[in-house]
């Protein structure tokens, strides 16, 4: 009977829209996890549309839970459903138990800070959100602060806004507080006069800048000289500043929309106008919608902040 039920669940077909609503993951994130990490392998209909089984939906839910707990998708994508269930159980235990004296509590700290920040966002308490972020910055290393608190926090705020759990006001108020925190954090970094320079911002029609600010902090922590231009700039501005500052690279955060029909031509223009030795780096979940043109212009695509760090180290070397 159990085998028959499992077989039935494995043959039920769900569209990517249904999967997105059930898991809270955006369709472009689901596709990116498939293409880059092989998280699931959907079937195809006669018209080449993706379809998913119940088991694949469960795996995507478990993967989302694992990433919200601070893990990178590349670390968990190839785990089985059974392994992911065990991991989720371990995380629940770690979050709820009291650590013994002297016991390492890194995971507890990260999850605790994330929960406190989300509570502050829900209460629309900007001072409390800033307090928890600043407290975390004094307790966590810079990579852990970005990878396992700030990024999961921004992602979860976006997920709750899309699902109706947060109002637009929640998202806007949180963004203002997080932006101020990131700007203040970056101000604390100093770079050597001989450090390479990188121009960071978002291209025209891309107005979400938290990803770019995270990139600024990540590059600053790696010792780079940062020239931050803000959001929604045309290619000509990036080129002019890159030339003036003798920049090694231009980094663009692509978040939303992921299907802007004008952005590919803007990216091609940027590549044409930039000096051939200046690299283009892109990141953000919106990048998956432009992989064709990014490959065409030989952009370096950072799938996460650790990949961004590695790109920066390679360029510097």
Set out the domains of the chain in order of their start, with CATH numbers.
2-96 (1.10.1660.10), 106-187 (1.10.1240.10), 197-316 (3.40.50.280)
- What are 153-176's pLDDT values in tens digits? 998 898 888 777 888 999 999 999
What percent of the chain has a predicted confidence (pLDDT) above 70? 89
pLDDT at 248: 97
In this prediction the pTM is: 0.67
- What are 34-80's pLDDT values in tens digits? 988 899 999 988 888 889 998 999 899 888 888 776 677 888 899 99
Res. 93: pLDDT tops 90: no
Confidence at 96, pLDDT banded by 50, 70, 90 = very low
Q: At what angle do helices 54-68 and 16-23 cross, to 10 degrees?
A: 40
Average pLDDT of the segment spanning 94-114: 54
Alpha helices in 164-262 (DSSP H): 168-187, 210-221, 235-244
Res. 275: pLDDT tops 60: yes
Element (H, E) at 78: none
Instruction: Please provide residue 103's backbone torsions phi and psi, each rounded to the nearest 5 degrees.
Output: -80, 135
Q: How far apart are CA 133 and CA 125, in angstroms?
A: 13
DSSP code for 206: -
- Please state, rounded to an integer, the average pLDDT across all residues of the chain: 87
């Amino acid at each position: 009977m159990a085998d028959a039920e499992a077989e039935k669940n494995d043959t039920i077909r769900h569209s990517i829209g249904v999967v997105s609503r059930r898991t809270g993951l955006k369709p472009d994130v689901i596709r990116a996890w498939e293409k880059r990490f092989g998280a699931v392998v959907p079937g195809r209909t006669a018209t080449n549309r993706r379809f998913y089984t119940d088991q694949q939906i469960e795996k995507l839910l478990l993967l989302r839970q694992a990433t919200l707990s601070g893990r990178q998708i590349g670390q968990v994508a190839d785990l089985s459903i059974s392994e992911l269930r065990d991991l989720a159980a371990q995380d629940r235990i770690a979050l709820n138990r009291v650590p013994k004296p002297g016991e390492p509590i890194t995971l507890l700290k990260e999850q605790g800070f994330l929960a406190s920040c989300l509570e502050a966002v829900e209460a629309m308490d900007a001072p409390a959100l800033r307090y928890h972020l600043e407290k975390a910055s004094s307790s966590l290393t810079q990579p852990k602060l970005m990878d396992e608190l700030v990024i999961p926090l921004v992602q979860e705020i976006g997920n709750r806004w899309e699902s109706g759990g947060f109002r637009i006001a929640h998202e806007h108020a949180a963004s203002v507080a997080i932006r101020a925190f990131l700007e203040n954090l970056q101000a604390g970094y100093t770079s050597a006069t001989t450090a390479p320079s990188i121009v960071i911002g978002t291209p025209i029609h891309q107005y979400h800048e938290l990803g770019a600010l995270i990139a600024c902090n990540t590059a600053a922590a790696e010792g780079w000289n940062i020239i931050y231009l803000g959001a929604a700039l045309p290619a000509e501005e990036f080129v002019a500043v890159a030339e003036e500052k003798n920049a090694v690279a231009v980094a663009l955060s692509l978040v939303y929309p992921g299907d802007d029909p004008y952005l590919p031509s803007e990216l091609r223009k940027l590549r044409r106008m930039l000096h051939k030795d200046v690299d283009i780096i892109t990141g953000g979940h919106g990048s998956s919608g432009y992989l064709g043109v990014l490959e065409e212009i030989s952009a370096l695509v950072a799938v996460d902040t650790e990949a961004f760090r590695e790109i920066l180290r390679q360029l510097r070397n």
